[in-house]
Amino acid sequence: MAERKAFEIFPQQESFMDSSPDRCRTCAVVGNSVNLLGSHYGPLIDFHDVIMRFNTARTVGYEGDVGNKTTLHIMYPESAVDLDDHTHLILFPFKIRDLEWLVSAFTTKSVTMTNKGLKSTVKANQGLRLILSSSCTQVKVLYPGFIQYVHENWLGKKGRYPSTGFMGVVLAMHICDEVSVFGFGADKDGNWRHYWEELRNKHYGTGPHGGGQEYKRILELAKRKKLNFYRGF
Give catalytic residue positions: 161, 209
In sequence order, the β-bridge partners of residue 176 are: 24
Q: In terms of C-beta density within 10 A (0-12 exposed, 13-18 middle, 19 or more buried), how is residue 63 classed?
A: middle
Distance from C-alpha of 58 to C-alpha of 53, rounded to nearest angstrom? 9
Distance from C-alpha of 29 to C-alpha of 169, rounded to nearest angstrom? 6
CA dihedral angle for residue 226, residue 231, residue 232, residue 233, rounded to 10 degrees: -170
Query: Which phi and psi (to 5°) does residue 67 adopt?
Result: 85, 180
- Report which of 37, 43, 82 is spatially closest to residue 61, judged by C-alpha positions: 37
Query: Which phi and psi (to 5°) does residue 230 adopt?
Result: -105, 110
